């Protein structure tokens, strides 16, 4: 058995520069390049390939699998999606930050609605209207990130998300 692990670009002994916004397609290409390297050099064990993926690898592995029919299996230890983790953190911690049950529920509903609008191709104005209280609550930033996106940021991130969703058939 052979196991190959590499550092992200710019980390450890890896060359290049780390980009936390690297598209998942580029990460999938790194996987395919590693497989190609192993096979081109006839490394023992490189004739039966599988992918063991953690964290973001849960997005990357299916893309690599879709592009290389010789990958025989995928083991996913990705855990819950980040968005589910954010929801849990808000639900658990907003009451500890002094929010009433009603306030917590309102903020959670706005967060869910904002995500739906984003993932289903809704407009920036719809997002703003749906998340009025959420975007003003500073405790939410700690658990869910900065939700005060500019129109340009919202539209650019949404466009990138929708392209990946449509290209690979993700169903949010």
Q: What is the 3-state secondary structure (H, E, C) of 68-89?
A: CCCEEEEEEECCCCHHHHHHHH
- Band (128; pLDDT cuts 50, 70, 90): very high
pLDDT one-digit tens code per residue, 66-93: 899 989 998 888 665 677 778 888 888 8
- Please tell me the least confidently modeled range out of 2-16, 97-111, 153-167: 2-16
Tell me the mean pLDDT in the region 113-131: 94
146 φ, ψ to 5°? -75, 115
Question: Which helix or strand (DSSP H or E) is residue 57 part of?
Answer: helix 57-67
Q: Are 110 and 134 in contact (CB under 8 A)?
A: yes
């Amino acid at each position: 058995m052979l196991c190959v692990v590499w550092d992200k670009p710019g980390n450890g002994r890896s060359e290049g520069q780390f980009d936390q916004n690297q598209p998942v397609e580029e990460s999938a290409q790194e996987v395919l390049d590693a497989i190609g390297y192993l096979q081109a050099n006839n490394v023992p064990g490189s004739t039966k390939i599988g992918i063991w993926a953690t964290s973001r690898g849960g997005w990357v592995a299916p893309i690599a699998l879709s592009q290389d029919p010789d990958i025989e299996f995928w083991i996913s230890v990705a855990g819950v999606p980040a968005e589910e983790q954010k929801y849990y953190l808000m639900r658990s911690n907003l009451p500890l930050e002094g929010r009433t049950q009603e306030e917590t529920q309102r903020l959670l509903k706005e967060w869910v609605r904002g995500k739906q609008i984003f993932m289903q191709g809704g407009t920036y104005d719809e997002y703003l209207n749906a998340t009025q209280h959420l975007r003003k609550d500073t405790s939410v930033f700690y658990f869910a990130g900065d939700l005060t996106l500019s129109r340009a940021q919202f539209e650019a991130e949404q466009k990138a998300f929708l392209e990946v969703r449509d290209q690979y058939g993700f169903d949010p």
